[in-house]
Amino acid sequence: MNRLLSAVLALTLGGASSVRSPAPGNVIVFFGDSITQEGDKPGGYVDLLRSRLGQPDGSGPTVIGAGVSGNKVPDLEARLDRDVLQKKPSVVVIYIGINDVWHFQLGIGGTSKERYESGLRNLISRISAADARVILCTPSVIGEKADGTNPLDAQLDAYAEISRTVAATTGVVLCDLRQDFLAALRKGNPDNALQGILTRDGVHLNPAGNRFVADTIFACLKPIL
């Protein structure tokens, strides 16, 4: 990892060490696609947060990974009751949007902007009605070029802006992963590489990316736990 990116990650890690752990009994569900599915494996961002939020005596929150590869917003709506609400969560972290955009390019059908927004609003309404707090993440990256020349940058920016608007108008916590990824890549990707900085393939997180996402989401979790 280059030195600039290491410095960015070190600053983020340093700010998280003094945070009080949540009270026992909390259930935190991470709801998303393959990024979250992989994040629940050892070393993934969900796994890292599970370890960070735990206590030596075994107390602390129950952390559940509910990611399914290929999922888009409509897929989350379809499985919300089974995979999230039945777990009686106190907090739900929604990290979605990559496939809603990427699948247009892959020719297997993305999600229209209107359907994306209405789906996010529906998810937030149903989760809030179940007395759980929501953290809504903006979609991160499809390609890591730092100069805005990844083919789907403009479209991904538009969907991230929808997520920001939805968070602002519904009052949920926004975790602006796209903004934070772009800032980190401008500092940590001087060669304008397509991948290999925070992802292994331009989308899915590598170890540095998993640590980065864990740190970023942790900072958003702190005020509501």
* Per-residue pLDDT tens digits for 150-193: 999 999 999 999 999 999 999 999 999 999 999 999 999 999 99
The DSSP bridge pattern shows strands 27-32 and 133-137 to be unpaired
* Per-residue pLDDT tens digits for 1-20: 444 444 444 433 333 332 33
The sign of the dihedral angle between the CA atoms of 8, 11, 14, 16 is negative
Residue type present at position 37:
Q
Domain 3-14+22-224, CATH among 3.30.365.10, 3.20.20.450, 3.40.50.1950, 3.40.50.1110:
3.40.50.1110
* Per-residue pLDDT tens digits for 49-103: 999 998 777 778 999 999 999 999 999 999 999 999 999 999 999 999 999 999 9
User: Any idea where the domains of the chain sit in the sequence?
Assistant: 3-14+22-224
